[in-house]
Amino acid sequence: MKIMVIQGPNLNMLGLREQNIYGPMKLEQIHEQMRGFAQQNGVEIEFFQSNLEGELVDKIQECLGDADGIIINPAAYTHTSIAIRDAIAAVSLPAIEVHISNVYAREEFRKKSLVAPVCAGQIAGFGPFSYHLAMVAMLQILNEIKAMKDMQQQQQGQQQA
Protein backbone atom coordinates (compact mmCIF):
# COMPACT_ATOMS: atom_id res chain seq x y z
CA MET A 1 0.00 0.00 0.00
CA LYS A 2 1.19 3.47 -0.87
CA ILE A 3 -0.16 6.81 0.33
CA MET A 4 0.71 10.07 -1.40
CA VAL A 5 0.64 13.18 0.79
CA ILE A 6 0.17 16.35 -1.23
CA GLN A 7 0.69 19.75 0.39
CA GLY A 8 -0.51 23.00 -1.13
CA PRO A 9 0.68 26.60 -1.11
CA ASN A 10 2.44 28.17 1.85
CA LEU A 11 2.63 24.93 3.82
CA ASN A 12 6.39 25.04 3.26
CA MET A 13 6.26 28.04 5.63
CA LEU A 14 4.80 26.12 8.57
CA GLY A 15 6.59 26.87 11.81
CA LEU A 16 7.27 30.40 10.58
CA ARG A 17 3.90 31.74 9.47
CA GLU A 18 0.98 32.60 11.71
CA GLN A 19 1.97 30.32 14.58
CA ASN A 20 -1.14 31.42 16.46
CA ILE A 21 -3.17 29.61 13.76
CA TYR A 22 -0.86 26.84 12.49
CA GLY A 23 1.42 26.23 15.46
CA PRO A 24 5.22 25.94 15.66
CA MET A 25 5.73 22.62 13.84
CA LYS A 26 7.50 22.68 10.51
CA LEU A 27 6.23 20.69 7.55
CA GLU A 28 9.19 18.31 7.69
CA GLN A 29 8.41 17.52 11.34
CA ILE A 30 4.84 16.65 10.40
CA HIS A 31 6.12 14.47 7.57
CA GLU A 32 8.58 12.74 9.90
CA GLN A 33 5.74 11.80 12.26
CA MET A 34 3.68 10.52 9.33
CA ARG A 35 6.67 8.55 8.03
CA GLY A 36 7.05 6.85 11.41
CA PHE A 37 3.37 5.91 11.53
CA ALA A 38 3.53 4.59 7.96
CA GLN A 39 6.56 2.43 8.80
CA GLN A 40 4.82 1.02 11.89
CA ASN A 41 1.92 0.00 9.67
CA GLY A 42 3.90 -1.34 6.71
CA VAL A 43 2.75 1.41 4.38
CA GLU A 44 4.84 3.26 1.82
CA ILE A 45 4.43 7.03 1.96
CA GLU A 46 5.58 9.83 -0.31
CA PHE A 47 5.39 13.59 0.18
CA PHE A 48 5.00 16.44 -2.28
CA GLN A 49 4.57 20.18 -1.70
CA SER A 50 4.09 22.94 -4.21
CA ASN A 51 2.85 26.50 -4.27
CA LEU A 52 1.75 26.04 -7.88
CA GLU A 53 -1.72 24.78 -8.75
CA GLY A 54 -0.65 23.05 -11.96
CA GLU A 55 2.09 21.11 -10.19
CA LEU A 56 -0.46 19.89 -7.62
CA VAL A 57 -2.77 18.76 -10.43
CA ASP A 58 0.13 16.96 -12.15
CA LYS A 59 1.05 15.16 -8.91
CA ILE A 60 -2.55 14.07 -8.32
CA GLN A 61 -2.68 12.67 -11.86
CA GLU A 62 0.64 10.87 -11.34
CA CYS A 63 -0.94 9.01 -8.41
CA LEU A 64 -3.03 6.98 -10.86
CA GLY A 65 -1.35 3.58 -10.93
CA ASP A 66 1.30 4.68 -8.43
CA ALA A 67 -0.58 5.25 -5.16
CA ASP A 68 -3.52 3.65 -3.39
CA GLY A 69 -4.73 6.80 -1.64
CA ILE A 70 -4.14 10.52 -1.35
CA ILE A 71 -3.99 12.73 1.71
CA ILE A 72 -4.17 16.32 0.54
CA ASN A 73 -4.04 19.71 2.15
CA PRO A 74 -4.88 21.98 -0.78
CA ALA A 75 -4.46 24.99 1.55
CA ALA A 76 -5.81 28.16 -0.11
CA TYR A 77 -6.65 26.19 -3.27
CA THR A 78 -9.31 24.38 -1.23
CA HIS A 79 -11.62 27.30 -1.82
CA THR A 80 -10.71 28.19 -5.40
CA SER A 81 -9.42 25.26 -7.44
CA ILE A 82 -11.81 23.44 -9.68
CA ALA A 83 -8.72 21.96 -11.38
CA ILE A 84 -7.57 20.21 -8.17
CA ARG A 85 -11.12 19.04 -7.49
CA ASP A 86 -11.42 17.62 -11.02
CA ALA A 87 -8.02 15.90 -10.80
CA ILE A 88 -9.02 14.13 -7.58
CA ALA A 89 -12.30 13.04 -9.18
CA ALA A 90 -10.49 11.86 -12.32
CA VAL A 91 -8.04 9.52 -10.59
CA SER A 92 -10.82 7.81 -8.58
CA LEU A 93 -8.54 7.10 -5.62
CA PRO A 94 -9.67 7.52 -2.04
CA ALA A 95 -8.65 10.99 -0.91
CA ILE A 96 -8.81 12.72 2.45
CA GLU A 97 -8.73 16.50 2.72
CA VAL A 98 -6.74 17.81 5.69
CA HIS A 99 -6.48 21.22 7.33
CA ILE A 100 -4.41 22.15 10.36
CA SER A 101 -6.73 24.93 11.45
CA ASN A 102 -10.48 24.74 11.95
CA VAL A 103 -11.47 26.39 8.69
CA TYR A 104 -15.07 26.66 9.92
CA ALA A 105 -14.01 28.95 12.78
CA ARG A 106 -12.18 31.33 10.47
CA GLU A 107 -13.09 33.73 7.65
CA GLU A 108 -16.31 33.06 5.77
CA PHE A 109 -14.53 32.29 2.47
CA ARG A 110 -12.65 29.40 4.13
CA LYS A 111 -15.87 27.58 4.98
CA LYS A 112 -16.46 26.44 1.38
CA SER A 113 -14.34 23.59 0.05
CA LEU A 114 -14.45 22.76 -3.65
CA VAL A 115 -12.38 19.65 -2.92
CA ALA A 116 -14.43 18.06 -0.10
CA PRO A 117 -17.23 16.68 -2.32
CA VAL A 118 -14.78 14.42 -4.18
CA CYS A 119 -12.97 13.23 -1.04
CA ALA A 120 -13.84 10.37 1.28
CA GLY A 121 -13.74 12.86 4.14
CA GLN A 122 -12.25 16.00 5.60
CA ILE A 123 -10.27 16.43 8.82
CA ALA A 124 -9.77 19.96 10.10
CA GLY A 125 -8.88 21.80 13.26
CA PHE A 126 -6.67 19.37 15.15
CA GLY A 127 -3.40 21.09 14.34
CA PRO A 128 -0.64 18.82 13.00
CA PHE A 129 -2.50 15.88 14.59
CA SER A 130 -4.99 16.26 11.72
CA TYR A 131 -2.45 14.45 9.54
CA HIS A 132 -2.25 11.53 11.97
CA LEU A 133 -6.03 11.25 11.99
CA ALA A 134 -5.97 11.27 8.18
CA MET A 135 -3.42 8.44 8.18
CA VAL A 136 -5.62 6.34 10.49
CA ALA A 137 -8.66 7.03 8.31
CA MET A 138 -6.79 6.25 5.09
CA LEU A 139 -5.51 2.93 6.47
CA GLN A 140 -9.07 2.01 7.40
CA ILE A 141 -10.35 2.92 3.94
CA LEU A 142 -7.58 1.00 2.16
CA ASN A 143 -8.09 -2.06 4.38
CA GLU A 144 -11.82 -2.01 3.64
CA ILE A 145 -11.12 -1.79 -0.12
CA LYS A 146 -8.69 -4.70 0.15
CA ALA A 147 -11.21 -6.77 2.13
CA MET A 148 -13.90 -6.10 -0.51
CA LYS A 149 -11.56 -7.13 -3.34
CA ASP A 150 -10.55 -10.28 -1.46
CA MET A 151 -14.21 -11.16 -0.89
CA GLN A 152 -15.05 -10.59 -4.56
CA GLN A 153 -12.15 -12.81 -5.66
CA GLN A 154 -13.27 -15.50 -3.23
CA GLN A 155 -16.83 -15.35 -4.60
CA GLN A 156 -15.56 -15.55 -8.17
CA GLY A 157 -13.46 -18.57 -7.24
CA GLN A 158 -16.49 -20.29 -5.72
CA GLN A 159 -18.61 -19.58 -8.80
CA GLN A 160 -15.97 -21.09 -11.09
CA ALA A 161 -15.64 -24.24 -8.99
> Which residues carry out catalysis?
22, 99
Residue ranges in the chain whose pLDDT is less than 50: none
In this predicted model, what pLDDT tens digit does every residue of 61-108 receive, in sequence order?
Answer: 999 999 999 999 999 999 999 999 999 999 999 999 999 998 888 878
CB contact at 8 A, 85 and 113: no
| AA letter at 111 | K
In this prediction, residue 66 carries a pLDDT of: 97
CA quadruple 56, 135, 38, 140: dihedral, nearest 10: -120
In this prediction, residue 155 carries a pLDDT of: 84
Contacts of 22 (CB under 8 A, 6+ apart): 14, 100, 101, 127
SS3 label, residue 96: strand
Measure CA 8 to chain center: 11
In this prediction, residue 83 carries a pLDDT of: 98
Domains of the chain: 2-160 (3.40.50.9100)
